[in-house]
Amino acid sequence: MRGTIPISVEQGPRGITRWDALAVLLTLSVLVFVAEASRHLLQPLAELQRTPLSLAPEYLPEYAARTTLRMLLALVLSLIFTFIYATLAAKSRRAEMVLVPLLDILQSVPILGFISVTVVFFMSLAPGRVLGAEFAAIFAIFTSQAWNMAFCFYQSLRTVPVELQEAARTFRLSPWMTFWRLEAPFGTPHLIWNMMMSMSGSWFFVVASEAISVGNTTVTLPGIGSYIALAIEQQNLRAVCWAIGAMLIVILLYDQLLFRPLVAWADRFRFEQQAGVLPPRSWVLDVLRHSRVVAVVTEPLARLWRRTFRWSLFHRAGVSVAPPRKGGRWADWLWNVFVVVLALLALWQVATFVSASITWSEAGNALLLGFYTLTRVIILIALATLVWVPIGVVVGTHPRLAQFIQPIAQFLAAFPANVLFPIAVSAIVVLKLDPNIWLSPLMILGTQWYILFNVVAGASAIPSEMRDVGTNLQVRGWLWWKKIALPAVFPYYVTGAITASGGSWNASIVAEVASWGTTKLQAVGLGAYIAQATEAGDFPRIVLGIAVMSLYVVIVNRLFWRPLYWYAERKFRLG
């Protein structure tokens, strides 16, 4: 079986092999990293506030470690959320009616909105300690990772090939076994690519997540994000360059130690294997597979995991599926009414809260500002589609190229827009450009990669028989793109475009207001409106801005992206 590598023993059956030594060294390094990055968690907040952030480069390793630990913990939480949330949405039609629109809303809610609402709760979990602020920062990073992963896994579950589903029913697998033996493996390659994108995309919001405001007090957590914010405030270009260098090193490290092993491991779950193409390799995965120490330590856990399949009581062999109950349509109708009433009550609560201090004319102005931002999002997504879909197809159909491009794309995706503020602001001022136009590219800077990563995942999953048929029939040029490439990647593209669209709305809060030192530029749009309200602590206007942004995102998704999604699911589903 592919992925199973025999253990080689160089020093006899009882000796310690070089693989064991490397595995122990890797484990100790990870433990030291976690210990160093988390040793300040119980530090009093007052002590943290008395210790000013330093731009000296010798502090960057510690700041980088703390930021990376926050991002990795948020990634674990996002993975757990994805398995639960996306599975419920894909398995239950009634749950889907609530969870998918709710996901549209959640991805459109700005990270500043999440921080404003949840910071008091998280700070109360560890009063007077840094741990409470860390909880708030990790949750903020989680909100920049989870929605993309949930969307992609939901799409994978909805497009599991029919023949695989029939095989699972033929072998009478329980729902638990079906999920872990069929559905999760099928969606794993796509999910890992989106985990890489989520990890990289969360760098975009690290600056906001590491500055926690409680009342009139702002707690700045040490990290690369707060380091970049301080460097921009002090107009220290050298410090900005040091931060970029630290980001590059961190991205290369977690690419080698985490994502490249995951990509190589997940290759065994591809729906089909292409003959003549070497599988992706990872030296870390080779170490873990060859090490007997790892095998001895993980065997009890693997045995316990295998037992869960026998303990599963959800379904027993020989038990027939119950026929659908009568009155199902009435139950669906009552459920629809319940969902609509719940949505109307939520809208009524928002309207009541906002109308107490905001006039209807200002609400109309917020809708107009939202239209300006919508126009920018549509144009930017269209341009990103024209650029990254062809590139993604080329990269995805050439595995060796994909291995080379992967870390480069991760670094570019992780590049925060804040770092480009000095260049953008200076160029706009010197050349006397219109901020309403030239600040717009900052909105798509971090979100365009959702399209690239999803298209790469889709292109790499094109069945080899489809490629062979195209080669044998000499299908080339535009005909190859029309009949093979674009239909194959279309479901993946829609998933990436939905996330990129929602992320662009979120990024507008950062991109429509750019500053460098005392120079501040602002574009007319809903993102600038929310940023101003957040800076002023005007909670009713924050709620109004978030509500308008969510309204636009849901309408666009319901009227445009979701029909495309359902069309892709019906027309281009494998099997």
Same domain, 445 and 391: yes
Is residue 444, in this structure, part of any structural domain at all?
yes
Strand partners, 515: 520
pLDDT score of 431: 82
Is residue 493, in this structure, part of any structural domain at all?
yes
Same domain, 126 and 23: no
pLDDT score of 115: 73
Cβ–Cβ < 8 Å for 158, 90: yes
Is residue 10, in this structure, part of any structural domain at all?
no
Which class for 54: exposed (0-12), middle (13-18), buried (19 or more C-beta within 10 A)? middle
What is the domain extent for residue 340? 52-281+334-571
Is residue 343, in this structure, part of any structural domain at all?
yes
The CATH number of the domain holding residue 187 is 1.10.3720.10
**Tally: H helices and E strands in the chain:** 29, 4
Same domain, 428 and 496: yes
Which residue in the block uniquely carries the two structure tokens 């890992």?
A: 192
Same domain, 303 and 234: no
Same domain, 22 and 109: no
**14 phi and psi angles, rounded to 5 deg:** -110, 0
Which class for 271: exposed (0-12), middle (13-18), buried (19 or more C-beta within 10 A)? middle
Same domain, 508 and 372: yes
Dihedral sign of CA atoms 273, 451, 155, 138 in order: positive
Same domain, 168 and 202: yes
Same domain, 41 and 155: no
Strand partners, 519: 516
pLDDT values of the chain reduced to their tens digit, one per residue, 575 residues: 444 444 444 444 455 688 888 888 888 888 888 888 888 888 888 888 778 888 999 999 999 999 999 999 999 999 999 999 999 999 888 888 888 888 877 877 777 667 767 787 888 888 888 888 899 899 989 988 898 899 889 988 988 888 888 888 888 888 888 899 889 999 898 899 889 888 887 887 787 788 776 556 678 889 998 898 888 778 888 888 898 889 889 988 888 899 889 988 988 887 665 555 567 788 898 898 888 888 888 888 888 888 887 765 444 444 444 444 444 566 667 766 776 777 777 777 777 767 777 888 888 999 999 999 999 999 999 999 999 999 999 988 887 787 777 777 767 776 666 677 667 777 887 888 888 888 888 888 778 888 988 898 888 877 777 777 777 877 778 888 888 888 888 888 988 888 888 888 878 887 888 776 677 788 899 988 988 887 777 778 888 888 888 888 888 888 888 788 777 767 665 54
Is residue 324, in this structure, part of any structural domain at all?
no
Same domain, 66 and 25: no
pLDDT score of 315: 46
Is residue 481, in this structure, part of any structural domain at all?
yes
CB atoms within 10 A of CB 182: 18
Type of residue at 402: A
How far apart, in whole angstroms, are the C-alpha atoms of residue 154 and residue 123? 33
Which residue in the block uniquely carries the two structure tokens 């699911």?
A: 569
Cβ–Cβ < 8 Å for 147, 79: no
**DSSP annotation of 57:** G
How far apart, in whole angstroms, are the C-alpha atoms of residue 286 and residue 265? 10
Cβ–Cβ < 8 Å for 60, 241: no
Same domain, 218 and 294: no
- Of 112, 109, 137, 106, the closest CA to residue 225 belongs to 137
CB atoms within 10 A of CB 477: 7
Question: How many folded domains does the chain comprise?
Answer: 2
Is residue 57, in this structure, part of any structural domain at all?
yes
Is residue 207, in this structure, part of any structural domain at all?
yes
Type of residue at 259: F
DSSP-based three-state secondary structure for 219: strand
pLDDT score of 229: 83
How far apart, in whole angstroms, are the C-alpha atoms of residue 139 and residue 233? 25
Tokens of 299: 């065997």
pLDDT score of 61: 92
Same domain, 302 and 345: no
Alpha carbon of 144 to those of 54, 204, 275, 345, 574: distances in Å? Answer: 27, 9, 38, 27, 30
Same domain, 406 and 516: yes
How far apart, in whole angstroms, are the C-alpha atoms of residue 95 and residue 6? 45
